Structure 1
Amino acid sequence: MNYSYTFNLKSPNDDKPSLIYLRASIKGEKKYLKYSTGEKIHPKYWSSENQFPIKIKGRSTEAIQINSVINQLSRYAESFQLICSRLEAENITLKADLIKEELDYQFKKIESSPHSFFSVFQLFIDEKTKLGKITSGTLQRYKNIKEILENFSNDKKYNLTFKSINDDFYVEFVNYSRKTLKHKDNTLGRNIGFIKTYMNWAGGRKYHNNYDFKRFEKTSSETDEIALSFEELETLWNFDFSENKRLEKVRDVFVLGCASGMRYSDYSRINKSNIRNGQIFINTQKQKSNLGIPLNKYSRQILEKYDYNLPIISPQKFRKYIKEVCKKVEFDEIIVKTSFRGNERIEEKIPKYKMISTHTARRTFITLSLEKGMRPDIIMSITGHKSYSSFKKYIKLSKRIREEEMTKAWD
């Protein structure tokens, strides 16, 4: 056993009730755990040999009070042992401060155990925030999945602990996501991925030794994301927005994305210091790589138009305004968007302008570059993709190119 404990009086020689402490020795810890039970007893009713109250028979006031103290100290002893046993079972090193926090949770009614599933989840989010290794968008998604899990726990009366993240949890969570939240396969798969990332992190820090989650399947299905054709890009670029400068700025920034292949978080913050020798050099937020992206006629004209200080537009407003821009340009072709929720096939008819987002620019760059004959490895060096598997999901060759290739091969 890696611990021992006893109870001590604060003032054993006083002639008045004395506060009782739980005193524990933890193997490997230099300091003792000294924890106030909040209980008091007169030293004359205390056994110095047993370090415990002397039980008095009868129904006198003294007997009732002493028996109440005995019951409470027994609770402390039982809780202390259970806490130590649980932490050891989960391969967590026993520490005085850690045990004190757990006792506080049980006896002083703090909001949640400091090492409960959700408390540790918040530590995970806090660490990611301090280290700054992930984008603000990813950080927000971790906050969202924590909230989803809290709602799941409350709605389904499912007590979420590190041990309860098992196959039963997976079945219940998938069902809840599809039936209650109406999440489609890709959203559900992304959330499962976030849960697995968190559980890996917590396991690496010895908060648990449960690795059932590694069997969890990340659901996914092909998406009908779109890209602009070259004709559409030209139409957008040449459209006269002189009467609406707000939309003109949004159009210009979006076309810069189409001409450079960068993410919005990157191309929206370009300034003159990023331009050297006819190329854009910028440390991408997601991969921290310093890309050198050659300028072309679109990107050069746009940067010169704003003297290399692009309009600042928040991501939320940009996502809204770019749809307004494309509606104005009459990109209203009806697109049948197919998605899946388990074995349920969902088809939606949506005007094209409603499907255009900040990321459409990056997909457009990749698609048009391939259509124009650029080698995939060159495009990947510009976009910063490290593997072809992550690159290929952006490829959306236009109907015209596919028809031309079919004719070339078969006719």
Structure 2
Amino acid sequence: MKQAKFNLERRKDKGGNLITTNVPIRLSMFITGSRLEYYTGFRVSNSKNFNTDYSKTGKPFIKSNEPDAGRLNRNLKGMKEKAELFYDNAIALGQIPTCETIRKQLDEYFKGKDSKPDQVLVKDAFTEFLEETKRRKSIRTWKKYNTTLNHLSNVFGIEFRKLTFDQINTAFVEWFRKGMIKGGYKEGSEKKEYLNNTVVKYLRSFREFLNWCKDEKRAYYTGNAKFEELRENEINVIYLTGEEIEKLIKAEMPNERLEQVKDVFLFGYYTGLRYSDIFKLRKQDVLDQEIRFYISKGKNTTWHLV
């Protein structure tokens, strides 16, 4: 059977040094005397995290210290199996496989180029949604939606690239929910699960995206996927006592950066301002020992005096 292999792109920077960070992963395969070099769409943060001898040792393509190594290995394994299957199918049908035909089949399967002309890919619609959000809403809201897109890509992997709206139903939503819980996130070298409130937040964001897609101007999505009751758990509010605040004021920080962090925290404590509001403050907002400025939250903008 014809073997597909993976290798890292070898490219040098302007100084003539081999680039070792954020390196593209390529699929390589010899087909009827020619070599197919196919860009997988995936990268490793550092070339040291790629197992160059994976075919000999049987170890995963990507080492465990690479962020999201599990998802990368699953996607690369799927791509390798498909490339080899496309080759074997051509031989079984009495056809002569070529680099061009295998490349086209890979594109159609993994990049969604086989979708009908009138079908909009979910990833393309989401990109449009993000662009509109960036123009009309706060950067914080845009980041929330962008993170939702990243979660969709992580949970569904390569399949997300060719996902169309007719595939989105209640089962899809439930799979997305379970995928986020199972996938979790990394804190250092430790993997942690998302709390219910975090999962609910991104499910709401996805529902908002689908509602945007239902708008009569677009009508990308005409389905009716059901979301189970998206209820957040009550949380215990953690606060500092007056005595603890006094201790913090007197505490000496080990460096200037932490001293600034302490100052911002105390400023927020005494003024009642959120960090996002403090970040936007300008010198001209402070006049005669008072802070006068506008606060935007959602669609509402209000004037405040502190």
Q: Among residues 124, 134, 137, which one is paired with 1:133 in the alignment?
A: 137
Structure 1 counterpart of 2:286: 275
The CA deviation at 1:277 is: 5.0
Q: What do residues 135-173 of structure 1 show as CA deviations (whole Å, max 9, x unaligned)?
A: x23212212211211232237889743233222112222
After superposition, give the CA deviation of every residue in 1:202-248 in whole Å (9 maximum; x if it has no partner): 101311221334x443242123441111111122123345x743332
| Residues 191, 275 of structure 1: alpha-carbon distance in 2 compared, 3 angstrom cutoff | same
Residue-by-residue CA offset, 1:358-397 (whole Å, 9 max, x unaligned):
xxxxxxxxxxxxxxxxxxxxxxxxxxxxxxxxxxxxxxxx
The C-alpha deviation readout for 1:269-302, integer Å capped at 9, x for no partner, is 32331123543122224355343233xxxxxxxx
Q: TM-score, normalised by structure 1?
A: 0.40
Q: Secondary structure at the match of 2:141?
A: helix
Residue 264 of structure 1, CA deviation: 0.8
Distance 2:302 2:156 in 1: 43
Number of the residue aligned with 2:304: 292
Distance in 1 between residues matched to 2:228 and 2:114, nearest whole Å: 27
Q: Percent identity?
A: 27
Amino acid at match of 2:156: S
- Residue aligning to 1:318: none
1:280 to 1:227, Cα distance in 2 relative to 1, 3 A: same
**Which residue of structure 2 lines up, in the alignment, with residue 143 of structure 1?**
146
Other-structure match for 1:233: 245
* Alpha-carbon distance change, 159 to 271 in structure 1, aligned in 2, over 3 angstroms: closer
Distance 1:201 1:249, change over 3 A: same
Query: Distance between the aligned counterparts of 1:128 and 1:180, measured in 2?
Result: 26
Return the alpha-carbon distance in structure 1 between the equivalents of residues 257 and 195 of structure 2.
34
1:125–1:111 CA distance, 2 compared to 1 (3 A): farther
Does the C-alpha gap of structure 1 residues 268 and 159 become closer, same or farther in structure 2, counting only changes over 3 Å?
Answer: closer
For residues 386-397 of structure 1, what are the structure 2 equivalents within 5 Å? none
TM alignment of 1:165-184, pairs within 5 A: 165-181=168-184, 182-184=193-195
Structure 1: give runs of 5+ residues left out of the alignment.
1-104, 295-411
TM alignment of 1:9-408, pairs within 5 A: 115-129=120-134, 131-134=135-138, 136-154=139-157, 160-181=163-184, 182-204=193-215, 205-213=218-226, 215-241=227-253, 244-276=255-287, 278-287=289-298, 289-294=301-306
Deviations 1:168-210 (A, max 9, x none): 1122222222233332211110111010010000101311221
Give TM-score, length-normalised by structure 2: 0.52
Distance 2:290 2:114 in 1: 53
d(CA) in 1 for partners of 2:229, 2:237: 23
> For the residues of structure 1 that align with 2:158 and 2:230, how far apart are their CA atoms?
23
1:124 Cα offset (Å) = 0.3
Q: Which is bigger in relative contact order (C-alpha 8 A, separation at least 6)?
A: 1
Tell me what 1:20 maps to.
none
Partner of 2:240, secondary structure, is coil
Secondary structure of the structure 2 residue equivalent to 1:218? coil
User: Whose radius of gyration is greater, 1 or 2?
Assistant: 1
Q: Distance in 2 between matches of 1:111 and 1:144?
A: 25
- Distance in 2 (CA, whole Å) between partners of 1:292 and 1:238 is 30
Aligned residues: 184
CA distance in 1, matches of 2:114, 2:290: 53
CA distance in 2, matches of 1:159, 1:111: 8
The DSSP-based 3-state class of the residue aligned with 2:293 is: strand
Q: What RMSD, in angstroms, separates the aligned Cα atoms of the two structures?
A: 3.1
Distance 1:268 1:122 in 2: 27
Who is 1:101 aligned against? none
1:127 deviation in Å? 1.1
In 2, the alpha carbon distance for the partners of 1:173 and 1:258 equals 38
